[in-house]
Structure 1
């Protein structure tokens, strides 16, 4: 693979020896520990987790990753049985724009072909958040197959033209109505950042004697069909307003919540 040191496959044999990418400097926190347990449970469902390893000076370190899983077991709001679904694709810092993201993406394509799947599918968001931009999919032969406005796109590279195309599960007005009053936080162990955020927020709300309804999604079906947000494993609802999943700190979340409260 051009321009790359190596890609390491994290599996049942080496996961306890090697580190994951997200929150690797905070391995003792609940988010990281829960993520490791979550991945171990997903391996039996066919999940793949691969690290981009680059050399910085005399040291090798991870500066990117990709996580994907057979569509039946995906933790996004995507209906994609028979397809490989990408959960996360990351390259950080000075290693961006060197083709590493495409190298990681090709790993998912290779594994999907080997497994005889219909193709590979992934979400994009061209504004904010943690999802890849549209460009990387288009540059690797993917096409747009669905969207949820204002800016969520679903992209697929298709091996079998006769297979049903993947699509987003619809947003349910009835489900959104359930979150019309109060603050609701949907999350899962799939993202280690969010688990630790929940703990921070609950402490903040308790100090103010306010109520936070933290809803932990316990399986892929709950994530796929959550009915309120395509990202699946993280969103916040405040008085019926659904946030865009992109908040990464307690301060950002509280700013969002205060803004909604003022407007409403």
Structure 2
């Protein structure tokens, strides 16, 4: 919605969406006077792009409302649309990865709509579910550190095309790595199974330093340099 239509990240996201629609992904937007104010993206659990496993659930990837659109009930409308869709498809419930820090939604909003916490993952993730029946709930694919340790020295970026902002973030990380004389490599996540077994519960974007996760979300150069100073110190 805020990404630039001519940017590489925009076209990467578009191609990613076209492939995911074949797997049951839904992308719903809400508009005000013809202007998009928010969206929700969700997909059957078997094809989810988070670090979780589960069957017969709907997994919310993203629920986002533009700043000025908040407080108008748009988030509630989108969430209810997802819950209703899941019931129509005879799913056992809806689940989502939340975060107490940044980039992902906080769980507090969802708790008002029947969600509950069922699992946690470092550094700040919770898996929340709204169950419709007694079917086993999804769970995190633990083993984050072991998967991260498999990668070598320097910076490793493990990324997908799920978000249009990843491309610019990757370019910034590579520039910082070059400035600091750090070796850097990019590993692309090409399918949902690779995302489910990523080094973080977020799945689709992971930045490692010497085999250790340092961030799961895009950072600007100043933020990344500060973070690297912390780890090197």
Asked if these proteins are the same fold (TM beyond 0.5), I'd say yes
The correspondence for 1:76, drawn from 50, 56, 64, is 50
* C-alpha distance in structure 2 between counterparts of 1:174 and 1:104, whole Å: 37
The offset of 1:180, in angstroms, is 5.6
TM superposition shift of 1:153: 0.9
Contact 2:119/2:126, CA 8 A, preserved across alignment: yes
Larger radius of gyration: 1
Partner of 1:146: 119
Unpaired runs of 5+ in structure 1? Answer: 1-20
Would you say 1:130 and 2:103 are equivalent positions? yes
Scaled by the length of structure 2, what TM-score is found? Answer: 0.93
Summarize the alignment of residues 204-219 of structure 1 with structure 2, pairs less than 5 Å apart: 204-206=176-178, 210-219=182-191
What residue is the counterpart of 1:40 in the other structure? 18
Report if aligned partners of 2:96, 2:129 keep a CA contact under 8 Å in 1: yes
Conserved in 2, the CA contact under 8 Å of 1:193 and 1:248?
A: no
Query: C-alpha displacement at 1:94, in angstroms?
Result: 2.2
Q: CA RMSD in A?
A: 1.8
**How far does residue 244 in structure 1 lie from its aligned partner after superposition?**
3.5
How much does 1:174 deviate? 2.8
Is the Cα–Cα contact under 8 Å of residues 158 and 188 in structure 2 kept in the other structure?
Answer: yes
Q: Secondary structure at the match of 2:165?
A: helix
- Structure 1 equivalent of residue 62 of structure 2: 88
Contact conserved, 2:51 with 2:197, CA < 8 A, in 1?
yes
Q: Determine the C-alpha separation between the residues in 2 that align with 1:83 and 1:22.
A: 29
Q: TM-score, normalised by structure 1?
A: 0.82
- CA offsets, 1:103-135, max 9 Å, x none? 1111111111111111100111122x2111111
Give the Cα separation in 1 of the matches to 2:52 and 2:38.
24
